[in-house]
């Protein structure tokens, strides 16, 4: 068994879905089961979780550094009770400073934001994983411009955290085109998801990186991601485990009736060793 934690890229679903099971029925059952299973895969209790959020973009990498982060309801048109959700996980100011230091040392300007709260890409995704909200959590922003090389390199800079008990999770979505979130996006989602699974699972590390740098050439790429904000966290998670094998930990072909979506783990899972 290794003490090094894996990293994850999670397709986090839409809005505050864990608090809308009456409305969604079984639509999120498979995603929820995969998130719950993450605890078994990890096998140990991490010291903290670092979430790379697709819902926070900044000019430079920025860390949530407050001791008790609040909530950011960054969605619209949902039931009133979803604007009262609380996920009171503690922050981790020392970890935020450690992450900023690693990024700065690798040549990536980084800052701290003590006022930043948890957005739904963090609290909705973590609620099934750590339902007691007792795991310290720090959010990391993505950079404007969505440069794949920059985010892959930032991930590599953060790799030492894996040996320090920090679980790195990139939170996004393998298909994110809200205008085609249904039958209209079926073909693009299946084409792009098939490319993504082949690239991450079958290619050697150097070819995998090169494919990520040229992801726009993938089939269905721009239909799947008109803006690649929900793909960027994948690059950070992959960069932090750049030379290690990948596993698909969640996949379905008919998400919301027609879409293909996936989540991935990079590196060995202590709980499965």
100-116 tens-digit pLDDT: 999 999 999 999 999 99
Q: Quickly list H helices, the chain.
A: 21-24, 29-42, 93-105, 120-129, 148-158, 186-202, 205-213, 221-224, 232-239
Average pLDDT estimate for 67-79? 95
Beta-carbon contacts of 268 under 8 Å, excluding residues fewer than 6 positions away, are 2, 4, 6, 244, 245
Q: Are 173 and 54 in contact (CB under 8 A)?
A: yes
Average pLDDT estimate for 17-34? 94
| pLDDT at residue number 273 | 62
| pLDDT at residue number 109 | 97
Higher-pLDDT residue of 178 and 131 is 131
Summarised one tens digit per residue, pLDDT across range 229-261 is 999 999 999 999 989 999 999 999 988 889 999
Confidence of residue 55 (pLDDT cuts 50, 70, 90): very high
Confidence of residue 221 (pLDDT cuts 50, 70, 90): very high
Q: What is the phi-psi region of residue 145: left when phi exceeds 0, alpha when psi lies from -120 to 50, beta otherwise?
A: left
Q: Structure tokens of 31?
A: 């995603």
Q: How many whole angstroms separate alpha carbon 149 and alpha carbon 157?
A: 12
| pLDDT at residue number 177 | 86
Confidence of residue 182 (pLDDT cuts 50, 70, 90): confident
| pLDDT at residue number 1 | 39
Confidence of residue 2 (pLDDT cuts 50, 70, 90): low
Average pLDDT estimate for 69-74? 97
The number of beta carbons lying within 10 Å of the beta carbon of residue 14 is: 19
Q: Sketch out the chain's domains with CATH numbers.
A: 7-272 (3.40.830.10)
**In this model, does residue 272 exceed pLDDT 90?**
no
Average pLDDT estimate for 4-12? 96
């Amino acid at each position: 068994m290794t003490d090094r934690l894996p990293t994850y890229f999670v397709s986090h679903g839409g809005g505050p879905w864990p608090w809308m099971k009456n409305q969604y029925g079984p639509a999120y059952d498979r995603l929820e089961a995969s998130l719950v299973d993450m605890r078994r895969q990890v096998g140990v209790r991490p010291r903290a979780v670092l979430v790379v959020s697709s819902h926070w973009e900044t000019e430079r990498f920025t860390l949530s550094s407050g001791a008790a982060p609040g909530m950011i309801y960054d969605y619209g048109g949902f039931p009133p009770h979803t604007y009262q959700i609380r996920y009171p996980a503690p922050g981790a100011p020392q970890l935020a400073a450690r992450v900023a230091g690693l990024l700065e040392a690798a040549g990536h300007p980084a800052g701290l934001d003590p006022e930043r709260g948890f957005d739904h890409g963090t609290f909705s995704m973590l609620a099934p994983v750590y339902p007691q909200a007792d795991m310290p959590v720090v959010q990391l922003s993505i950079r404007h411009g969505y440069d794949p090389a920059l985010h892959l390199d930032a991930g590599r800079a953060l790799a030492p955290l894996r040996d320090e008990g920090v679980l790195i999770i990139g939170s996004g979505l393998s298909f994110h085109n809200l205008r085609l979130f249904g039958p209209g996006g079926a073909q693009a989602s299946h084409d792009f998801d098939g490319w993504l699974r082949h690239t991450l699972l079958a290619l050697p590390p150097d070819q995998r990186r090169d494919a990520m740098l040229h992801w726009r050439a993938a089939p269905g790429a721009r239909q799947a991601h008109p803006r690649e904000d929900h793909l960027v966290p994948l690059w950070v998670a992959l960069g932090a485990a750049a030379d290690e094998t990948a596993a698909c930990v969640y996949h379905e072909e008919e998400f919301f009736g027609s879409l293909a979506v996936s989540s991935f783990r990079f590196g060995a899972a202590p709980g499965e060793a």
